[in-house]
Amino acid sequence: MSVSSARQDEMLGLAKQYAALPADKRAVFRQRAADKGLPVDRLPIVALSPRPGRAPLSHAQERLWFMWRLDPSSSAYNVSRAVRMAGALNPDAVRGVFERLAVRHESLRSRFGEDQGVPYQMGLPAPFADSREAVFDWRFEDVSASEPSAPENDDTLLQRRLGEQAREPFDLESGPVMRVVLTRVAANLHVLQFTAHHIVTDAWSMDLLGREFGQLYAAGAHGAETALEPLPLHYADFALWQREWAGDRRADTELDFWRDRLGGERSLLALPLDRARTVDRSMEGARCVVAVPRVTADALRRIARTHDVSPFAALLAVYCVLLARYSGQQDFCVGVPVSGRERAETHGLVGFFVNTLVIRAELSMSMTVGELLAHVGERIAEAQAHQAVPFARVVDALQPQRERSHSPLFQTLFNYEVASRSEETELAGLSIRSEAASTKTARFDLVLNVLDDSDGLRLTFNYAVDLFEASTIERLSGHYVGLLGQICEAGERRLCELSMNEGAGASSVAQRVAYPYASTVSRFEVRAQSCGGQLALICEDERVSYAQLDAWANRLGVSLMQAGIAHEDRVGVCLERSAGLAAALLGIWKAGAAQVPLDPAYPEGRLREMIEDAGVRCVIVDAASAQRLASVLEGCAQVRIVDEGAGPDERAVSALRERTASIHPDQLAYVIYTSGSTGRPKGVAVSQRSLSLHLDDFIGTYGISAQDTLLQSSTINFDVALHELLPALLMGGRVCMRGASAWDLQALSGALAAHQVTFSRIPTALWQQWLGDAPSRESLPALRQITVGGEGLPGDALARWFRGGLASVRLDNLYGPTETSVAALYRRTQPEDIHHVSVPIGVAYPGRSVCVLDAYGNEVPVGGLGELCIGGDSLARGYLGRAGLSAERFVPSPYGHGERLYRSGDLCRLRADGCIEYLGRLDQQVKLRGYRIELGEIEVQLRGCAGVEQAVVALRGEGERRRLVAYWVGEAQAGELQAALQARLPGYMVPGGWMKLAHLPVMANGKLDRAALPAPREDQEVQSVAPRSEREAQLRDIWAAVLGREAQPPGVTQNFFEAGGDSIVSLQLIAKARQVGLKLTPKQVFDHPTIEAQARVAVALSESGEGEGEGEGAGQDELHEAVPLTPIQQWFFERFAQAPSHWNQAVLLRVRGGLDEAVLERALQVLVARHDALRLRFAREAGTGGWTQRVVPVVPVVPVTVPASGAAEVMAGVAATRLVERLGVGDADGWEQALYDACTQVQQQLDLENGPLLKAAYLDVGPSRPASAAGDPPSGG
């Protein structure tokens, strides 16, 4: 015997001695071994003796148990395999083999439960050899006699059948946990499908069962008796052993590694989602399969060998590059599954051993390919060296915020597998090949499975359909394949040199329109000559014709020339709002100078900074401004806007015309000052060419003509005032200009109506207020276009617009930094835009180009995140006197031709249709506890709550006191709003502070003034808030008990998971709540993780029908008077006001065997009588149009005939018309469409006002396809 074998025998003997000890002595043994530093945790795993009847769950099983408790109807954790078996097959022999497998592997006959909130597992006794007791679900189905159809239809029907069977949920408490279905497709063709819940199996186990099935079936076919080697232990023994050594010091050391590697704030991976995350994920999934040819696979293996890493590491490295390029993140985590069977004793067991390692990628796009491969290879190696720690323990140690909307620590998983068997095998005269049996579920956002076989690589992208469109994953998979090819050819290229360029930027440049240049003022002069007598501008009582405005501008231009103003000189405009503003602009440009707006309302210090920075030597002023700002304007020549003296002579005007004609396209047109990061304003210098190009874009896009009247309401300090003023003046139209007094909403509507305005720009914030009391379409017959801009356009506000009377007016959402000349992109809003949190900013105007780039200047892929960059001749010259800042923001374009791009600093996403979505400022990303939060998404949900007129959310506080604060205007109360948001949003998006305001602060340009939002009141620390009711006190005591915090009980506003709770501890909380008569569910604990919230949603067992005295009439007496709607119901009726009865929930069930319609009718009547929500009726109040609800009482009706059972009849007044009807759909080729039509007919019978609210139909679709449908509307429940 070798030394190694002797040592193994010695260790096995020691393990058996340890296992025979009582529990207290085993604890002493472990402590003494730890004190001496002996690695006895590596003892072979043996069954403890005596073995308890109930075993604990392994760490991995605990999470699956909790997920099942959260949603027992989910099939997300089903594991299914199917094979096609051609040849003579004995169904009884197949069943017999699986019976033997169930006897052999205790996991396959396990049942699960809880005791005081602590989960356990126990195996049913193995049946006797001749017993027919079913420990698993066996089905034999013969469809060979079905009506013949085309082969492709047979395959489609088979795949649908396999998918349906794979998705049938399991009852882990009652069992069984395994299902075997054998389907005879033809005389000598069968499909065998084996499905089990993941809590008792994994991929290794399924392969093991396949091998053992083959051995047993083959032996039986040849009349032999194959005795598989007996198993020395079962999975429950492993779970017990794992729990024994869970507190070992070596395990703690392993955990220290994971704390160091993964600790700190971890950001959610910004995958290219097509839909926002919601609280409730459906777990519905889909797949995209891509084949990589063998030549590429071989090249990748060579690259891996060259850099001394495995093909697995190389493939994962490329996946990390893909994720980094899409997300814009370079530090993120990817999950990698491992077998979890590093102990040889586990290799022959069926059970849930698989573990997940978290690989943290810390990339730099300046890495070479070799450095990337080395980095990922090193991270894999270190993770594998510490793989003994179960993933569940890593999560518990790191305590990330728990959310049902996504998995903790990572959101994407990578799996690599080498094909171990041929496509087709032979077994006892049978030809066997694999058959797809997907559950069509998604446990993670995105999973990449790579199968390495002789033909190359088979990539399967499994994705959550709640989050992604199929086209997005197809595009992503194409980029992955493209990166694989480039990596194979890369040599030592840097990652930033790898291309994912789809050519969107170059295409945008190529499509740009080039306009012939003419200066803005010369174009006005041409229009003034042809339209001299026509009205050009109205400003309160002022009426100015084109000829008058031109003459006024000439006088000012001559005065400026006489004051010594030359080309490129900056002239200040310091005027109260009047028609003179237009004359001042035109006069400055006629003199060849550039205008610098100086708002008289600005602080004197800021005006002095602007005058000094711009080098202003001359200012056009009115009398009031000259007097009030005399000290500020000291040293500047002054030209009065109104001069009572004689006009200029012809020679002076002629000289002015020569000056105007000599204006160069690159000459400065204006300097607009914007806020600077240093606190000093920075001047954006815009050329005449840029201004002219923007006006051409604007006039052409919107068809501005002489028939238009444009509203001019913005202050001249913002460049948007220019495209409110100039397009009409260049085309012979009219301008309706606001005077010095600000307009309220009524004055705005009055101006639009009185002056028959056709085109109006309204700041987004002001437009939302105006929308609440917008005038009728009849009062604004001329209005054809509104543009909004300045901040994001909320989708919910747009929805109100489309529902209102002005929906026929075109509404565009505009975007454009001052540096790109007024506006660069626009979006003609569409009804589908209402589904966005913030409406897209659209496409570039014809004279501009756009692209989305990463930090290295590479185009990000469609759907990826990057910085919006804008090109074209509309770009500003730069920042006045700030060459360094200009070089930083205005950069060379990668598309050649000596062009520039302006880096906007805005985080954006390019959609497949070319539209740009705005996601916020790069330097102002809102992150809280590692989550990037889109404030607009929270604001949309807030505005959707009853009693909220306006709402905004901000991140306030510093360090650990940072929190989201909600500000709202309206009658709603904070508690109502918090409860509503907890039901709609992930927990990390629910504000922790609430402030009710009389109105939201806005700036002079109409934008929301976030800086002016009041600081939230500093309430007590959440841990110290004491219970305010008996129920809160009960829950506080329960929390303290399960969290071990009796000495320092938690506060009623503290988060359960932040206080140390986890999914398993939550089950103990639920169990203890039941002991004091309160019913909570796992879902409620997750969605309402504070004591005060749980006190609101918990139901007394006596009221839920689960406690003592349950039955009809238990609990409170019903109220049958009209009562107000709940906040959620109120939101529903506001959101779906047009057809509320249409919004219902339905389920379609397949019925196996016969259905007793009378019993179904009686069961539904019992439900309706028992649950008053199913007897609600809703009525609209006269006058207000609001809704109320009342419960219809239970009254006797004609009894329903049921089988004689002695049971009393249940008679509900709402069941006067039968709740169940039978509909024949037929067995024709079009039965699926007929089934759909019948279901639609049933759902259309639901009536919120008159009833019923629940309806069922028994749909006879032929002998092979029985089904039934039922539906109920959401507002009732």
Claim to verify: residue 1004 and residue 1027 sit in the same structural domain: no
- The C-alpha atoms of residue 1228 and residue 1239 are separated, in whole angstroms, by 17
* Per-residue pLDDT, 1134: 62
Domain boundary among 1012, 1037, 1066: 1012
Handedness of CA 394, 396, 398, 403 (dihedral sign): positive
CA 259 to chain CA centroid, nearest Å: 28
CATH of the domain at 1093: 1.10.1200.10
Please give the mean pLDDT across all residues of the chain: 85
In a domain, 675, yes or no: no
Claim to verify: residue 936 and residue 988 sit in the same structural domain: yes
Q: Is the pLDDT assigned to residue 28 strictly greater than 90?
A: no
Interacting residues of 1060 by C-beta distance below 8 A, sequence separation 6+:
399, 1043, 1044, 1045
In a domain, 978, yes or no: yes
- The C-alpha atoms of residue 1158 and residue 623 are separated, in whole angstroms, by 91
Q: Please state, in angstroms and as integers, the Cα–Cα distance from residue 91 to each residue in 192, 217, 238, following that order.
A: 10, 11, 34
CATH of the domain at 645: 3.40.50.980
Count of Cβ atoms closer than 10 Å to residue 692 Cβ: 27
Claim to verify: residue 336 and residue 408 sit in the same structural domain: yes
Count of Cβ atoms closer than 10 Å to residue 458 Cβ: 17
Q: Which residues of 625-658 are buried (b: 16+ CB within 10 A; e: fewer)?
A: bbeebeebbeebbbbebeeeeeebeeebbeebee
**pLDDT band, residue 979 (cuts 50/70/90):** confident
CA 279 to chain CA centroid, nearest Å: 10
Tokens 């279905």 -> residue: 181
In a domain, 892, yes or no: no
Coil, strand or helix: which one is 404?
Answer: coil
Q: Which of 171-185, 220-234, 1052-1066 has the highest mean pLDDT?
A: 171-185
- The C-alpha atoms of residue 443 and residue 281 are separated, in whole angstroms, by 10
Q: 115-146: per-residue pLDDT in tens? A: 988 999 998 887 654 444 568 899 998 888 76
Claim to verify: residue 479 and residue 550 sit in the same structural domain: no
- The C-alpha atoms of residue 291 and residue 450 are separated, in whole angstroms, by 10
Claim to verify: residue 306 and residue 423 sit in the same structural domain: yes
In a domain, 802, yes or no: no
- The C-alpha atoms of residue 790 and residue 812 are separated, in whole angstroms, by 12
- The C-alpha atoms of residue 727 and residue 759 are separated, in whole angstroms, by 11
* Per-residue pLDDT, 359: 96
Claim to verify: residue 178 and residue 140 sit in the same structural domain: yes
| Cβ proximity of 728 and 760 under 8 Å | no
Claim to verify: residue 30 and residue 96 sit in the same structural domain: no
Q: Say if strands 1187-1191 and 1176-1180 run parallel, antiparallel, or are unpaired.
A: antiparallel
Q: 455-501: per-residue pLDDT in tens? A: 899 999 999 999 999 999 999 999 999 999 999 886 778 998 888 87
Strand partners, 573: 597, 620
Q: 330-389: per-residue pLDDT in tens? A: 999 999 999 999 888 999 999 999 999 999 999 999 999 999 999 999 999 999 999 988
Q: What is the number of domains present in the chain?
A: 7
In a domain, 876, yes or no: no
Q: In the chain, pLDDT over 70 holds for what percent of residues?
A: 87
CA dihedral of residues 88, 93, 97, 100 (deg, nearest 10): -170
First-to-last alpha carbon distance for the chain, in angstroms, is 72
Length of the chain in residues, anyone? Answer: 1277
Write out the DSSP string of 529-597.
Answer: HHSTTSEEEEETTEEEEHHHHHHHHHHHHHHHHHTT--TT-EEEEE--SSTHHHHHHHHHHHTT-EEEE
Coil, strand or helix: which one is 122?
Answer: strand
Domain boundary among 664, 688, 717: 664
Claim to verify: residue 324 and residue 465 sit in the same structural domain: yes
Q: Is the pLDDT assigned to residue 1210 strictly greater than 50?
A: no
| Cβ proximity of 45 and 241 under 8 Å | yes
Claim to verify: residue 430 and residue 549 sit in the same structural domain: no
* Per-residue pLDDT, 960: 58
Q: Please give the residue range of the domain that contains residue 36.
A: 3-42
Claim to verify: residue 300 and residue 423 sit in the same structural domain: yes
CATH of the domain at 1204: 3.30.559.10
Look at residues 447, 450, 492, 506 and name the one whose alpha carbon lies nearest to residue 473: 447
Q: 1142-1156: per-residue pLDDT in tens? A: 667 777 777 776 777
Claim to verify: residue 276 and residue 359 sit in the same structural domain: yes
- The C-alpha atoms of residue 1064 and residue 212 are separated, in whole angstroms, by 35
Max alpha carbon distance in the chain (Å)? 124
In a domain, 307, yes or no: yes
CA dihedral of residues 618, 676, 694, 901 (deg, nearest 10): 130
CATH of the domain at 993: 3.30.300.30
Residue 673 burial by Cβ neighbours in a 10 Å radius (0-12, 13-18, 19+): buried
Look at residues 905, 891, 816, 824 and name the one whose alpha carbon lies nearest to residue 857: 891
Look at residues 991, 975, 890 and name the one whose alpha carbon lies nearest to residue 933: 991
In a domain, 647, yes or no: yes
Domain boundary among 209, 230, 251: 230
Q: 981-1026: per-residue pLDDT in tens? A: 877 777 778 888 888 898 888 876 667 788 788 887 654 344 467 8
- The C-alpha atoms of residue 319 and residue 313 are separated, in whole angstroms, by 10
Claim to verify: residue 1056 and residue 1188 sit in the same structural domain: no
Interacting residues of 977 by C-beta distance below 8 A, sequence separation 6+:
942, 945, 948, 966, 968, 994, 1127
CATH of the domain at 444: 3.30.559.30
In a domain, 758, yes or no: no
